[in-house]
Amino acid sequence: METTRPQEFTAIIVGGSVAGLTLAHCFARANINYVLLEARESLAPQLGAGIVIMPNGCRILDQIGILDPMRKFMTRMAMQYRRRSSGEVVGAADWPKLVEDRLGYPCGIAQRQLLLRSLHDQLEDKSKIVLQKKVVRIQHEPGSVTVKCQDGSEVVGHIVVGADGIHSKIRNEMQRIADEEGPSGMMDKDKTRVTAEYNAIFGISAPIDTLSPGDGHVASDIDHSGLVFVSNQALPQWFFFSKLDKRYQEKDIPRFTKEELEKQVEEFSDFHFTENVTLGDLMKTTTALSYVPLEEASHEFWTYKRVVCVGDSIHKMTPNMGQGGNQAIESAATLTNCLLELLSTSTTSHPSEADLATTLTKYQDLRKGRAEMFVKLSNLVTRDESLATLRHVLRFLYYPPLNSKQYAGKRTSVCLKEGIC
C-alpha cells in the first residue's frame, strides 16, 4: 500500500481484534470511511482461546446486523457450577437463562477464532482490511495523521484508532507524542498502569462424555482456579489460573516458555475441574494451547490529538467475568456514535483537530467509568475464584453460594448500568 491522501474523512484502525473488527462494522454502518491494518498474516489464528458474549455485547452485534450468523457457533450458557479443587460441587445455578429471559439476549460462549472469522467474513468491503502491516510510528500533519509501517509504506487519515491489544503500539505512540508535545509528565502514570498478578494456561480439547454443552464449571483452590465451559460441538474450552510470585509491572511481566508450561501442567495435572475431569485429562487431547500472563490495566488517558484507543489497548481485564470482549464492543459502538454526531453536524468533511479532540475526549468520558468498573469487577472475580485471601477462603467454605436469582440479579444489574442493555 502506497501513501494515499484521502478526500473524505478516514479513520485508520490498527488491529484486527474483536474491538477492531467490530469498529469496522460500526463504521461501515455509519458510512465512516476506514482502513484496518493488521500486523499478522491472518486475522483469526487458533490460539486456543474461548470468549463469552454477554447480552450487552449481543445487543450491539444485533444492532449492526451481524449477530444472527454467529448464533450458529455460539452456545447458550446453561448450568454453572462452583466446585472445590477436588471436583466436589459447592453451588449450582442456571443464572444465564434468567439473564436471557430478562434482557432478551443470551450469554453465549464461542471460540475466539470463530468469532473473529465471522466478524471478518460479514464485512461487505474486505478490501479495507490490509494484512501484514505492522505500524512503527505515528506522525501528525496539518489536517491529518500519518501511520508509518515497517515495510516502508505510509497510510494517511484523519484519526488513528488503536485496537491492537494490551501490547499496543498505538497507545505507546500516543504517549510518546504527548510527551513530546503535551504538558510535561502528562501520561507518566499511564506508562505503569499495566500489571499482572496471575497467569493462565488456556486451551481447547476433544469432547469428554461427562461435560455437557453449555455447562460451565469453576473449581477453586488457594492461589489457583480452573474454568471450563463446553461448546455446541462438545469441545471443552478451558482455563487454568495461577497466582504469580508477585505483582509485576508492564516491562517486567514474565513470558513463559514451553518448558515452563510443561512444568506447570505436571505440577497441577491432578487439579479437578469436575469430579471426573482433571487438568491432565484436558491436556491429553488439547488441540490448541497458550500460556500467558493475565495483564490488567485501566488507563487515565484514552486519547491525544488524533489518536484514540479501544478495547484491551486501553481497558484490559482478566477473563474470569467474561466481559473483556463485550467491553471492547461497547467502546467500538460509543466511539462510532461520537464520531457520527461530529461528522453529521460539522460544516466541513474534515473537522478540525480541536473538534476531533473534543469528540474523542467525549468518547473517553462516556466509556471510562463503566470500563473501569468492569476491570475492577473482573479483578475481584479472579481473586475470589483463586481464594486470594483468608476472607475469600472463609467465604468459599462457609458462606452459602448465591442462588440463580441472586446471580442473575448481579449479572443483569451490571449489564443494565448506564443503559447499555
pLDDT tens sequence across 111-132: 999 999 999 999 999 999 999 9
| DSSP-derived 3-state class of residue 126 | helix
pLDDT at 86 over 90: yes
pLDDT of 188 > 80? The answer is: yes
Question: Where residue 420 falls among pLDDT bands split at 50, 70, 90?
Answer: very low
Closest CA to 302 of 233, 375, 357: 357
Please, which residues bridge with residue 95 across strands?
none
pLDDT, tens digit (0-9, with 9 covering 90-100), for 362-392: 999 999 999 999 999 999 999 999 999 998 8
Q: Which range has the top average pLDDT, 61-70, 87-96, 398-407?
A: 61-70
* Residue range 9-22: mean pLDDT, rounded: 98
pLDDT at 203 > cutoff 80: yes
Cβ–Cβ < 8 Å for 278, 271 = yes
What CATH code is assigned to 10-193+296-419?
3.50.50.60
Q: How many Cβ atoms sit within 10 Å of the Cβ of residue 223? A: 14
Find out whether 220 and 84 touch, Cβ atoms under 8 Å. yes
Give me the mean pLDDT over the 393-419 stretch: 64
pLDDT at 419 over 60: no
* 3-state percent breakdown (helix, strand, coil) of the chain, nearest 5: 40, 25, 35
- The yes-or-no verdict on residue 3 having pLDDT over 60 is no
How far apart CA 53 and CA 105 sit, in angstroms, is 10
Band the pLDDT of 254: cuts 50, 70, 90: very high
Q: At 372, which amino acid appears?
A: E
Round to whole Å and give the CA distance between 136 and 134: 6
Any idea which of 40-54, 108-122, 326-340 has the lowest mean pLDDT? 40-54
CA gap 214, 107 in Å, rounded? 10
- Please list, in sequence order, all residues whose beta carbon lies within 8 angstroms of the beta carbon of residue 110, skipping any fewer than 6 positions away: 50, 51, 53, 70, 73, 74, 75, 231
- Confidence (pLDDT) at 417: 56
Mean pLDDT check: name the lowest of 73-82, 221-230, 405-414.
Answer: 405-414
Mean pLDDT of the chain: 93
Please determine, for residue 243, whether its predicted confidence score (pLDDT) is greater than 60.
yes
Mean pLDDT confidence for 140-152: 97
Evaluated on CA atoms 53, 59, 62, 68, the torsion sign reads: positive
CA distance 400 to 271: 24
pLDDT at 390: 92
**Residue whose grid cell is 495523521:** 145
Residue 393 pLDDT class (50, 70, 90 cuts): confident
- For residue 370, which of 329, 319, 320 has the smallest C-alpha distance? 329
Residue 217 has pLDDT above 80, yes or no: yes
pLDDT digits (tens, 9 = 90+) for 403-415: 556 655 666 666 6
Looking at residue 47, its pLDDT comes to 73
**Would you state the pLDDT for residue 411?**
63
Amino acid identity, position 108: G
- pTM of the prediction? 0.93
Q: Is the confidence at residue 397, as pLDDT, over 80?
A: no
Beta strand 216-221 pairing with 80-84: parallel
pLDDT in tens, 260-305: 999 999 999 999 999 999 999 999 999 889 999 999 999 999 999 9
* Percent of all residues in the chain with a pLDDT value above 90, rounded to a whole number: 84
What was the pLDDT predicted at 381?
93
- pLDDT of 1 over the 60 cut: no
pLDDT tens digits along 58-74: 999 999 999 999 999 99
**Domain segments of the chain as ranges:** 10-193+296-419
Which residues lie across from 146 on neighbouring strands?
A: 139, 156
Confidence bin at 421 (pLDDT 50/70/90) = very low
H helix intervals, 15-94: 18-29, 55-63, 67-70
Asked if 282 and 228 touch (Cβ cutoff 8 Å), the reply is yes
C-alpha cell at 279: 487438568
Distance CA(315)–CA(57), nearest Å, equals 16
- CB-neighbour burial class of residue 413 (10 A; exposed 0-12, middle 13-18, buried 19+): exposed
